[in-house]
Structure 1
Amino acid sequence: MKKSVALMVGLRYTSARKSNNFVSFIALVSMLGIALGTIVLITVMSVMNGFQSEMQERILGMVPHVVIGERGEGVKDWQALEQQVVKHKDVIAAAPFIDIQAMFKVGRNTHFGLVQGIVPEKEAEVSIIDKFMKYGKLNNLRSREYGIILGKGLANSLGVTMGDKVSLLIADGATVSPAGISPRTKRFSVVGIFEVKSEHDAMMALIHIDDAAVLTRKGDLVSALRVTTNNVLNAQWTAFELRNQLGTEYYVSDWNYSHGTLFRAIKMEKAMIGILLTFIIAVAAFNIISTLVMVVTDKQADIAILRTLGASPATIMKIFMVQGSVNGIIGTLIGVIGGVALAINLPQVVVFIENLFEVSVIPGDVYFIGFLPSELHWQDVFVIASIALSLTVLATIFPAWKASKTKPAEALRYE
């Protein structure tokens, strides 16, 4: 019964026309502040999710999820190893590769980078590079034709385009003579250019694995086996299981060794931004304290009458907690609806602003993507809404407690 009375009177106070316009204004500001803070927090977290997903696709799509190699000079029978590895439940595909550190030379232009010998038809199963070819295609690499696919940044540095010749100077298989060590040199024709908007564009090139074997003079040996898993974030556990499965003859590593620090930094940045933006909601929630303090002062006579009619201090406290919480609930509801709508339609909104003001919000030549990504996670929405409602309820406790301490005789003395 007491709960229904507290709810009824609290809602009545909220919906009633207030005699103090200033109190009404502060209440409106606090509600709009909570709504704005919720909208901003949901939108920013969705953008962070979008950037994280794009980086995960573009960087981890080029980096092997798991690398398996044989201890020694290289893997002798990669076909047998592949058949053994793909039996694992979490492995999608595997492909061999040969890593070569090389110097690229075109005229007087030189650039140091990494050449990777691949099997084109298998590489498409373990890498995203085939989706990001700007010119040519992965199947342009054919055995003994000495074609090469360059990253766009590397191609720009060398000043080459499709059909041009690039000389590779490599130390593997170099000739040793009394005059010193002479690096092996081979001319390749550019048959493709890729662009994934990552560091690979500026330092990586692809050739056929047979051509790489000829350059390095390693015969049938390959550097290692590249493995793609069905869950890149769980690659560390998959690597652990493969390590136990294959035994000590092979070494097994995952992408966390090379790029784990980057993604841990992204997660930390996302958490810190979320904490900082939560203070927007906290500031708006503190306005509820000011509003309720003024309301309690204005309702001294009403509180006294309720007390004389038998309302307990707990009932009085609940009345004002209900009144203050309503503003927070409405503000949070508006914020969640607005934040979800904005996060879902953010790319279109950004395009509209760019067209309207003729500006580029995310220049493609500066950032690794040319658009503003947004990926809404409903668990983020739930957490943000819970934080907003919790801060709102906490903000009502002190004013409501002060109201419950009102003494009826003193409040009615001058009425």
Structure 2
Amino acid sequence: MANKEMIKKAYELAKEQYAALGVDTEAVLNKINEIKISLHCWQTDDVSGTENPDGQLSGGIQATGNYPGKARNITEIMADLEKVMSLLPGKQRVNVHALYGDFSDGAADRDAIEVKHFQGWIDWCKKQGVGMDFNGSFFSHPKADSGFTLSSKDEEVRKFWVEHLKRTREIAAEIGKQLESPCVLNTWIPDGSKDTPVDRNGMRSQLTKSLDEGFATEFPKEYMKDAVESKVFGIGAESMTVGSHDYYLGYAIKNNKMICLDNGHFHPTEVVGDKISSCLQFVDEVLLHVTRPVRWDSDHVVTLNEEVQLIASEIVRNDFIGRVNVGLDFFDASINRIGAYVVGTRATQKAFMIAMLEPTSTLVKYEENGQNFERLALLEELKTKPFGAVWDYYCLQEGVPVSEDYIAEIQAYEKEVLSKR
């Protein structure tokens, strides 16, 4: 167990070091809780959902591993999320996919889902005191087996998915209204071609038509906010993805929607941190799906790496916190799922804290004066400053496990709960 007095002493020393650089650690501790991370429900059960838990994943979705303790129903999903949130400092949000509704009173196809299927989630979020975000589920469904949903040239299929989009937006607006916090509704489709297509334009024209129809009804922004998400390619769509970044960025700018930037949805040499300030020149807000790609969009647990650090730094340096919505998107079935959540979320939070502990004004001054050596030197020295002491003190203040203490908590939960499933 962490020694509280040692943590406090270490923090006071760190406070002095950062003060020498012009950084107020107390201000950072007050500001860090402005970062609310949307926890994706699908890490609890490997994207199985509650609509048809035994169904096969499709549409480029793949979870690998078979670690014991997977959540089997909404009750277990919520219990796991409660455990996760109890181990995280600050207040977060919860992100739910459309295939995670309560269908205990009877099945409802994707074009027939209603608020009642998610009222349990809304009530639970209200009880937890957290906001809720929502996503359409355009995959793992017979009408997505062709590889095309909103861009399909089969009018019956296209209309089905347009109706699903409409339903998800209605549900999202009601979620935001009831919870008094705007619900971010993200739309991602797996549409694409395994081999080289001929009529790319035709597919994208169909997608535009479908989105225009699905977004026709306006909802108050204090209730819901629309986002559209791109992808470079996926399993079964290696040669062309209809909803590319170029497509969705153009659509978002033209139609005043958020662009969702998933840092696993680009080529390995593209960096999402560099895209944030570009996109925010032309759209009001962006949505982030923070993950850790390995080779491609393999959705590994987030770790505190340079890519995540740049994302956080760009947001903090430019005072974009109010214009950026942060969510996680990974699913690892090979390790303890609760542990995956906690490691990934804490890593993201740490990246933001490190960014807030940066003397940005000094660095910008160096940059503008052409003092590039000084800029480089200070950035390097910051890497060994005692950030960990500030983080541990933050966790202590928030009443959550400090440092590695959460490992024992998760092990106990696995023994007492997960192992009995």
Could you tell me the TM-score, scaled by structure 2's length? 0.26
Could you tell me the TM-score, scaled by structure 1's length? 0.27
- Structure that is richer in helix per residue: 1
Larger radius of gyration: 1
- Structure that is richer in strand per residue: 1
